[in-house]
Amino acid sequence: MSLRISLLAIFLSVNLLFGEAPSVQQVQPLFIKGKEAYDQDQFTQAADHYEAIIATGTYAPEVFYNLGNTYFRLGKFGLAILNYKRSQYLAPLDSSTEANIRFAQKQAGAIIPNRSVFEKSFSLLTRKQWLTSVIMMYWIGCACLAAYFLLGRPPWLRKLILSSGFIFTLSGFGLAGNAFFNAKPEAVILENGDALFAPLEDSEKHFTLPAGSIVRVTEESGGWMQVQSGKEKGWIPQKSCEKVSEW
């Protein structure tokens, strides 16, 4: 009886923590409709379906990816790259997304920031994934330590403790590195535009940002954002770009 109750409790907790939202049933038909519209070259309708999914608050990397493809086919490279980047934000290891981003950026003539090996490595997992890995290793490490003391310190458990400690440290570094490199949020330029020297309408143009360019937001003031592209910093109206991590 107690085993049944325990299993039920575990099932409920896991479902509560990782389970799917109740609105999944509503969005799945929209996803299928979006794909059908896309296959029939009805890209505007396809985009509407995918946008409707996101509007419900339910999302998946696949939705953003497909929306990116749809906008690409509509010739809206800025929105295409933005949605590819969002898909990549949720699933950093997806090679199709990376390939499509590169292709779309090439097509749009967008500015592609050079990312260092460290930045790429720390971005292999999302911040949440790094954190989950840290916590998982913490639990495993503690369990191993507990077993080690309870079982009279068997040598084979030492290796397991060291391994989990190593992965824990590595994940900790990953988490810290990810936080460091993403301290300035990424944003995508939606339409071709100019970055100005100051957040004023009549300020002089500093440099040009083609649609689809990926920039880092360094400051926000009123309706303006200071963005960094390479080593240059300039001000753009907030409406001309969207942050990758906010939708």
Partner 1 sequence: MNDSLKFSMLIPLLIATICTAADIKVDFEIEPSAIRQNESATATFTVHGAINPPRPALDEVLKDFDVQSLGTKRVSYNGYPTYSYSYRLRARKKGEFTIGPFLYRYKNQEIEVPFKKLKVVGIGEKTGLEITNSELLFATIETSKTNLVTQEYFDFDVVLYWRQVSLSGDVSIIDYQTPGLQFGQFRGTRTTEQQVNGNTYFVSRFRNKVKALAKGTYTIAPTVSVSILVSRRNSIFRDTKTLKIAVEPTLIDIVAPPESNRPNSFRGAVGKYQFNAQVSPLEMNEGTPITIRMQLSGSGNLDSALPPEITDEGTFKIYDSRLTEDRLNESKTEGRRLFEQVIEPRTPDIKEIPALEFSYYDPENAQYRTIRRGPFPIIITPMTNQVAREIGPMIVNNPAQKEIFGEYIEYLKPLPDHWKNEAQSFWLKSPLSVGVQVLPAVFAIFCFMHGRRKESLVGDIEKARRLEAPKVARAAVRRAQAAQKEGDISIFYEAASEALNGYLANKLNIGAGEVSMPLMRTRIDPEKHGNLLNQLEAFTIECETQRFSPEGLAASSPVELQEKLDQLTTILKACERIKT
> Rounded distance, CA 106 to CA 224, Å?
27
Residue 160 beta carbon to partner 1: minimum distance, rounded to whole angstroms: 14
Residue 65 beta carbon to partner 1: minimum distance, rounded to whole angstroms: 5
Residue 117 beta carbon to partner 1: minimum distance, rounded to whole angstroms: 19
What Cα–Cα distance (Å) separates residue 27 from each residue in 41, 45, 67? Answer: 21, 15, 14
65 or 122: whose CB is closer to partner 1?
A: 65
CB of 34 closer than 8 Å to CB of 53: yes
173 or 207: whose CB is closer to partner 1?
A: 207
The residues, ordered by sequence, that sit 6+ positions from 178 with a Cβ below 8 Å of its Cβ are 122, 123, 125, 126, 127, 130
Q: Which residues pair with 236 in a beta bridge?
A: 225
Applying CB under 8 A, the residues found at the interface with partner 1 are 17-18, 20-21, 23-24, 27-28, 31-32, 35, 38, 57-63, 65-66, 69, 72-73, 90, 96, 99-100, 102-104, 128, 131-132, 135, 138-139, 141-143, 145-150, 152-153, 197-198, 203-207
9 or 118: whose CB is closer to partner 1?
A: 9
Q: Which residues pair with 207 in a beta bridge?
A: 195
131 or 170: whose CB is closer to partner 1?
A: 131
43 CA to centre of own chain: 24
15 or 118: whose CB is closer to partner 1?
A: 15
Residue 40 beta carbon to partner 1: minimum distance, rounded to whole angstroms: 13
> Rounded distance, CA 119 to CA 177, Å?
8
98 or 124: whose CB is closer to partner 1?
A: 98
User: What DSSP letter does each residue of 115-153 carry, written as one string?
Assistant: --HHHHHHTSS-HHHHHHHHHHHHHHHHHHHHHHHHTT-
Residue 191 beta carbon to partner 1: minimum distance, rounded to whole angstroms: 21
Torsions phi, psi for 58 (to 5 deg): -100, 135
- The tokens describing 80, both together, are 């295409």
Residue 151 beta carbon to partner 1: minimum distance, rounded to whole angstroms: 9
